[in-house]
């Protein structure tokens, strides 16, 4: 009877924490989309909204960590249950970092708003950001449903984002070589592209946490790495 009672108290705690994670995930998804849109339309007001919104994301991470610590202290979960609580903290940490990248994207809107627009990369960046937001939506779904297969699909999907990044990297080099006046804008756009690529990596981390939680095993390194800009010696 006592065990039953402890178990369900733990379950209730966990459910409450997971609800916070989903809320945090929703805010981060919105930040990615708004950040990308503010950048494409040079919408400084929307960019400010994203920057302000990041505080709520940070506050949620702090609260999730506190609730998780409280649960560990009160319920003393072991093995799989402990893993579940630790996973929640890891996922919240990844979400917070994705939110930071979205904020950074919004920040650069201000800088880019005063430069000549470079149209091709802008649209490509938005597509990349949409891709990552879709991956995040799916991985949160996988997390709630404890669906390791869906998490694995998200993980494999990350190479598409990496390929989009590689294509953009080449595009930026071309723009800069064609006209030195493009250099400063391209440096900023390149940064944003790399940050979106990193968001994809963080979503992949979350997918791996979900797989670990469901199966008890961390997926091996078999995932194909798509960012080849650190290994190619010449970029045409």
Nearer to its own copies, 145 or 225 (CB): 225
Asked whether position 56 contacts its own copies by CB under 8 A, the answer is no
Q: Which of 3, 78, 80, 119 binds its own copies (CB under 8 A)?
A: 78
Q: Residues for the chain: how many in total?
A: 236
Let me know: does 235 contact 172? Beta carbons within 8 Å. no
Asked if 163 is part of the footprint of its own copies (rule: CB under 8 A), the reply reads no
CA–CA distance, 129 with 127 (Å, rounded to integer):
5
Candidate residues 9, 56, 111, 123; the one interacting with its own copies per rule CB under 8 A: 111
Of 153 and 229, which CB lies nearer to its own copies in the complex structure? 229
Contact indicator for 96, 153 with CB cutoff of 8 Å: no
Per CB under 8 A, contacts with its own copies among 170-229 are 172-173, 176-177, 180, 183-184, 187, 190-191, 194, 218, 229
Q: How many residues bind its own copies (CB under 8 A)?
A: 40
Q: Is 69 in the site for its own copies (CB under 8 A)?
A: yes
Cα distances from 85 to residues 76, 128, 174, 199, in angstroms, run: 11, 31, 47, 23
Residues 79 and 69: their CA atoms lie apart, in Å, by: 16
Could you tell me if residue 79 is left (phi over 0), alpha (psi between -120 and 50 degrees) or otherwise beta? left
Contact footprint for its own copies (CB under 8 A)? 62, 65, 69, 72-73, 76-79, 82-83, 86, 89, 93, 104, 107-108, 110-111, 114, 169, 172-173, 176-177, 180, 183-184, 187, 190-191, 194, 218, 229-235
């Amino acid at each position: 009877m006592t065990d039953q009672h402890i178990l369900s108290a733990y379950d209730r705690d966990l459910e409450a924490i997971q609800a916070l994670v989903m809320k945090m995930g929703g805010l981060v998804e919105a930040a990615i989309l708004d950040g990308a849109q503010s950048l494409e339309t040079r919408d400084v007001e929307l960019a400010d909204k994203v920057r302000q919104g990041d505080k709520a994301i940070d506050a949620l991470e702090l609260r999730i960590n506190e609730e998780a610590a409280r649960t560990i202290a009160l319920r003393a979960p072991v093995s799989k249950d402990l893993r579940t609580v630790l996973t929640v903290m890891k996922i919240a940490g990844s979400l917070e970092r994705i939110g930071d990248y979205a904020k950074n994207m919004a920040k650069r809107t201000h800088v880019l708003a005063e430069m000549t627009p470079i149209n091709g990369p802008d649209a490509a960046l938005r597509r990349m950001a949409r891709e990552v937001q879709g991956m995040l939506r799916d991985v949160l779904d996988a997390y709630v449903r404890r669906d390791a297969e869906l998490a694995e699909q998200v993980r494999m999907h990350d190479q598409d984002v990496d390929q989009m990044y590689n294509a953009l990297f080449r595009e930026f080099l071309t723009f800069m070589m064609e006209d030195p006046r493009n250099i400063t804008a391209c440096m900023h756009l390149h940064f944003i592209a790399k940050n979106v690529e990193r968001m994809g990596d963080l979503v992949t981390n979350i997918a791996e946490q979900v797989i670990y939680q469901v199966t008890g095993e961390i997926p091996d390194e078999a995932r194909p790495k798509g960012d080849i800009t650190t290994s190619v010696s010449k970029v045409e």
